[in-house]
Amino acid sequence: MLFRVDHASAVSLADQIAVQVRASIEDGTLAPGERLPPARDLATSLGINMHTVLRAYQALREDEIIEMRQGRGAWVRADAGPGLIRMNELARQLMDEARKLGLSQPDVVRLIERTQTA
């Protein structure tokens, strides 16, 4: 997989990397179980700080798209796929909209739980 970043973009470099990983999983370029480049190597090839790559990887880890282990690297989770990527995006959009309406995360969870019993 070839990563590229645009230093002039309004999107942070870490977000650009995370978006590329998500897109590559969606289009099948990155498969479940596939290893991502080591953060240091990717940072060097892109001419950016290693911590920027680690921030991207951490965001992907929080979305349960990749797994990371110190000294062992990062790889795409076995259960990661286009569906998971899409659901993470929809959840993010839902929370953004909820915040605009003054709703908290527990409020949203209650609404979702209520729809399951209906």
24 and 65 inside one domain: yes
20 and 51 inside one domain: yes
68 and 86 inside one domain: no
8 Å CB contact between 73 and 34: no
56 and 91 inside one domain: no
pLDDT digits (tens, 9 = 90+) for 26-72: 998 999 999 999 999 999 999 999 999 999 999 999 999 999 988 88
> CB neighbours (10 Å) of residue 116?
6
Work out how many domains the chain is built from and give that number. 2
The pLDDT value recorded for residue 88 is: 84
* Residue 91, CA distances (Å) to 9, 24, 34, 45, 105 in order: 25, 20, 25, 33, 11
61 and 19 inside one domain: yes
Structural domain range at position 18: 13-76
56 and 71 inside one domain: yes
Which residues face 74 on adjacent strands? 68
24 and 48 inside one domain: yes
33 and 52 inside one domain: yes
Q: Averaged over 74-99, what is the pLDDT? A: 90
In a domain, 4, yes or no: no
The pLDDT value recorded for residue 96 is: 93
Q: What average pLDDT is seen over the chain?
A: 92
In a domain, 88, yes or no: yes
64 and 94 inside one domain: no
69 and 17 inside one domain: yes
In a domain, 7, yes or no: no
28 and 64 inside one domain: yes
